[in-house]
């Protein structure tokens, strides 16, 4: 499956790429603005500057480069980009991985609490608080990811700590959550000598030893937790070039950090760049995604997908209504009309077993496909149809995107406009739409659709009733 081809950098991207000054740089922008491409080209430029400096100074040790992504699928995609576009990296010692894998390698592959067991422990402690299981787990992740263990009590003081990035409903009794869930959970882990993934981030954020990297790139940084960012910064050399690529509008995980100052990163205006032109989406795709994120709580690191900044025209997105079997038949016919060399992503809110029927239909139509969810290496085969969850599609791009089965059963949330889970679903679907270069299709069963569908602007799509 193809990845992004080589592109000619724009003047606004070149300005970011060719800035050699050490320190932390932010590359911000909406989906399709070329953030990852710019970061990869900047990696090439900065690595070259460091290698020349090493040569002049007679430094024998290899240049230490760290590139981190949020998930394995994106890691494989970025690795392919780096191998294609960064020729100088062969002269450096490159670590390119997810944060989870990197943390495991750094700490000697310790045992980590199984996620199902961890969820069960937290739910057992907090089910009497009256929240849904999903919300409770998300809120605990948010707290443990935002604060170091010594600072957890700060969460209970709303006068000092704003609960940012999580919506306002349901209302949370912070003190009860700390005393009845978080503190007992932390103490239980200590007693049983257990560690979870956040513990690994804390260990890296607070340790004194470990490698020091001269060049660092973190892609999709909006979904890194505060402790993960602290861990990365802890391993930067004194004069490191660190580049964080992010868009807060696309934050789809509850533990994503929301304050640079809180994680100990000093950002100046000269080191913060916002890319404005949408190079990926057509005007129609950007307009389709816009209502889902318009009106969300504003964040300085977020950029709305404004269609005025798109460069190309294209067909109206399609919203297909019908039984799932009819949806898939329509999708198959649609794919059959597309050029053979154009990529198609079939995205689903859950994936896994939900793709069983999709696989069956594709095979019956003799259409080759590849599954890329949580895949650590980018597929090299000739297949141009990918099956992927919406979550795992973040950071990727395809010619055509089909969002399958946007039903309420798969995307539950509360009834209020500012419900935390509804806000997350809106961002998730908008992010998934933004993966498309040429066309978008969204499908659902009438009467069972997610409320997210109701937020779309009918003027931005063509409806198909099956």
DSSP string, 31-82: TTS-HHHHHHHHHHHHHHHHHHHHHHHT--SPEEEEEEESSHHHHHHHHHHH
CA distance 31 to 276: 10
pLDDT digits (tens, 9 = 90+) for 89-126: 777 899 999 999 999 999 999 999 999 999 999 999 99
* pLDDT value of position 237: 94
Tokens 């979550």 sit on residue: 391
Q: How far is C-alpha 314 from the geometric centre of its chain's CA atoms?
A: 26
The values of phi and psi at residue 102, to 5°, are -60, -45
CA torsion angle 160 132 254 152 (round to 10): 40
Tokens 């970061």 sit on residue: 39
Bridge partners (DSSP) of residue 282 are 312
CA distance 134 to 421: 9
Nearest one of 463, 456, 408, 464 to 432, comparing CA atoms: 456
- In sequence order, the 6+-apart residues with CB closer than 8 A to the CB of 73 are 372, 373, 374, 375, 388, 392, 393, 396
* pLDDT value of position 378: 78
pLDDT averaged over every residue in the chain: 87
**Max CA distance (Å), the chain:** 70
Three-state secondary-structure class, residue 385: strand
- Confidence band (pLDDT; 50, 70, 90) for 308? low
pLDDT at residue 168 is higher than 60:
no
The rounded percent of the chain whose pLDDT value lies above 70 is: 90
Calculate helix-pair angle for 356-364, 324-336, nearest 10 degrees: 40
Strands (E), 419-459: 436-444
pLDDT digits (tens, 9 = 90+) for 310-323: 778 999 999 999 99
DSSP string, 106-151: HTT------HHHHHHHHHHHHGGGS--HHHHHHHHHHHHHHS-GGG
Given CA atoms 321, 280, 99, 83 in this order, what sign does their dihedral have?
Answer: positive
The rounded percent of the chain whose pLDDT value lies above 90 is: 53
- Confidence band (pLDDT; 50, 70, 90) for 200? very high
Give this prediction's pTM.
0.87
CA distance 361 to 331: 10
The values of phi and psi at residue 194, to 5°, are -110, 155
Nearest one of 245, 235, 180, 190 to 213, comparing CA atoms: 235
CB atoms within 10 A of CB 341: 9
Per the structure block, which two tokens stand in for 395? 């950071």
Nearest one of 83, 178, 41 to 378, comparing CA atoms: 83
Pairing of strands 272-275, 63-69: unpaired
Q: Which of these ranges, 2-16, 56-70, 137-151, 433-447, has the smallest mean pLDDT?
A: 2-16
């Amino acid at each position: 499956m193809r990845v992004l081809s080589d592109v000619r950098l724009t003047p606004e991207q070149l300005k970011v790429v060719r800035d050699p000054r050490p320190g932390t740089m932010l590359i911000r922008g909406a989906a399709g603005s070329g953030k990852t491409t710019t970061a990869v080209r900047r990696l090439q430029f900065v690595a070259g500057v460091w290698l020349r400096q090493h040569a002049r100074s007679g430094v024998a040790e290899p240049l230490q480069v760290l590139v981190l992504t949020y998930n394995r699928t994106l890691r494989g995609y970025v690795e392919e980009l780096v191998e294609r576009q960064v020729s100088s990296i062969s002269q450096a010692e490159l670590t390119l991985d997810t944060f989870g894998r990197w943390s495991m390698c750094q700490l000697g592959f310790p045992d980590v609490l199984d996620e199902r067991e961890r969820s069960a422990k937290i739910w057992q402690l907090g089910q009497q608080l009256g929240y849904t299981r999903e919300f409770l787990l998300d809120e605990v992740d948010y707290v443990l990811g935002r604060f170091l263990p010594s600072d957890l009590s700060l969460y209970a003081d709303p006068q000092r700590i704003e609960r940012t990035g999580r919506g306002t409903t349901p209302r949370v009794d912070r003190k009860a959550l700390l005393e009845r869930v978080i503190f007992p959970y932390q103490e239980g882990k200590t007693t049983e000598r257990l560690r979870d993934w956040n513990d690994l981030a804390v260990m890296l954020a607070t340790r004194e030893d470990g490698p020091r990297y001269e060049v660092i790139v973190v892609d999709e940084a909006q979904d890194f937790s505060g402790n993960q960012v602290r861990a990365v910064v802890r391993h930067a050399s004194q004069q490191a070039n660190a580049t964080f690529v992010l868009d807060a509008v696309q934050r789809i995980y509850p533990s994503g950090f929301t304050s640079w100052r809180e994680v100990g990163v000093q950002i100046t205006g000269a080191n913060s760049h916002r890319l404005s032109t949408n190079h990926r989406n057509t005007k129609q795709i950007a307009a389709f995604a816009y209502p889902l994120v318009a009106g969300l709580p504003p964040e300085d690191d977020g950029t709305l997908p404004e269609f005025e900044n798109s460069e190309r025209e294209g067909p109206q997105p399609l919203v297909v209504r019908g039984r799932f079997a009819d949806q898939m038949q329509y999708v198959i016919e649609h794919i059959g009309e597309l050029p053979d060399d154009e990529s198609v992503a079939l995205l689903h809110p859950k994936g896994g077993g939900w793709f069983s029927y999709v696989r069956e239909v594709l095979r019956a139509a003799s259409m080759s496909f590849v599954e890329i969810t949580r895949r650590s290496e980018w597929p090299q085969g000739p297949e141009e149809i990918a099956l992927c969850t919406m979550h795992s599609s973040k950071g990727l791009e395809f010619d055509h995107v089909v969002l399958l089965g946007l039903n309420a059963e798969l995307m539950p949330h509360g009834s209020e406009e500012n419900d935390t889970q509804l806000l997350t679903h809106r961002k998730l679907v908008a992010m998934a739409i933004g993966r498309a270069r040429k066309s978008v299709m969204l499908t659902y069963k009438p009467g069972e659709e997610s409320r997210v569908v109701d937020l779309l602007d009918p003027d931005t799509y063509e409806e198909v009733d099956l």
